[in-house]
Amino acid sequence: MVEFIKHFFGKPSRYLIVLLLLILVFLAIFGPAVAPYNPLDVQLKQQKISPSVTHLLGTDHLGRDLLSRIMVATRVSLGAALSMLFVSVTTGTVLGLASGYAGGLIDEVIMRVTDIFLAFPALILAITIAAVIGPGLRNAILAISIAWWPWYARQVRGMTLSIKEEEYILAAHSIGVPVWRIGLFHIVPNLITPVVVQASLDMGAALIVASSLSFIGLGVQPPQPEWGAMISEARDHVFSAWWMGVFPGLAIFGAVYLFNALGEALNATLTRRVP
């Protein structure tokens, strides 16, 4: 662990990345408590107030404080992306491990189903599923998870096929170690590192997809604040209140950049190479 931390913080810029990510996590947990205004409080007399000392990021077309809405939306946006990744990674890892380790008919069935899902672009498939099952945060998470798990199943299957041919796995078979024990204690630990790295790299993409569903009305529903939904609301006010769309867009951009930087740093650290 000490070696990992030393290598991870080998570049000074990573201190800033971690600090900003901690701020995001803090806002996701305590955002509603530290927000300066009620993000749902409509004040029609304060519509479209430009950024000022009173409202640092201005107000929207209903007079709601934009900074407060962005802070509260952090929990919703990051929570949706994390939930989607958790379901996708868990499902894909289990199916990929079963496919690669069992082989035969099980492998054939799982991989053919995986190929069917991979035949469609993930975003288009997620939009289609969300449109069928209906709008809402939970349905959006389910739709994205269904579209995303095949990528992890394919990756884990390939790694499992390689790992199970290693000499220590063959030796475990030869001395009669149960199949479940080999899979759980010998193969799974070797899958964790690449899967974690891939998940960290995918966090930014998951955030974009989740925001995209909200943007087109299939994700979070008004008046609950969410970054993609806030940009959607700003479309009709782009010339009269530019800040309504710019600041939520910057929030998405910043979060995606930070998670991509984290993924690259983890990849460099866990593979013991400096980018």
Q: Is the pLDDT of residue 9 over 90?
A: no
Please check whether residue 30 lies inside any domain of the structure.
Answer: yes
Range of the domain at 60: 2-270
pLDDT for 274 equals 40
What is the average pLDDT across 258-274?
Answer: 79
DSSP 3-state of 43: coil
Secondary structure letter of residue 183 according to DSSP: I
Please check whether residue 60 lies inside any domain of the structure.
Answer: yes
Q: Name the domain count of the chain.
A: 1
DSSP 3-state of 59: strand
Nearest to 67 by CA among 91, 88, 41: 41
Which position has the higher pLDDT, 187 or 231? 231
Mean model confidence pLDDT for the chain? 89
Burial class (CB in 10 A: 0-12, 13-18, 19+), 149: buried
Helix (H) or strand (E) holding 45: none
Residue with tokens 């288009």: 124
Q: Is the pLDDT of residue 35 over 60?
A: yes
Please check whether residue 200 lies inside any domain of the structure.
Answer: yes
The C-alpha atoms of residue 106 and residue 2 are separated, in whole angstroms, by: 41
Please check whether residue 275 lies inside any domain of the structure.
Answer: no
Please check whether residue 186 lies inside any domain of the structure.
Answer: yes
Nearest to 24 by CA among 81, 97, 78, 65: 78
Burial class (CB in 10 A: 0-12, 13-18, 19+), 12: exposed
Specify the CATH number for the domain of residue 72: 1.10.3720.10
| Alpha helices (H) in the chain, listed in sequence order | 2-8, 13-34, 66-102, 104-118, 122-133, 137-163, 167-174, 179-182, 188-215, 227-234, 243-270
The C-alpha atoms of residue 10 and residue 4 are separated, in whole angstroms, by: 10
The C-alpha atoms of residue 152 and residue 149 are separated, in whole angstroms, by: 5
What tokens were used for 15?
């201190």
Please check whether residue 143 lies inside any domain of the structure.
Answer: yes
DSSP 3-state of 65: strand
Please check whether residue 139 lies inside any domain of the structure.
Answer: yes
- The string of pLDDT tens digits covering residues 130-174 is 989 988 888 989 999 998 999 999 999 999 988 888 888 888 878
Please check whether residue 236 lies inside any domain of the structure.
Answer: yes
- The string of pLDDT tens digits covering residues 183-198 is 888 888 888 888 888 8
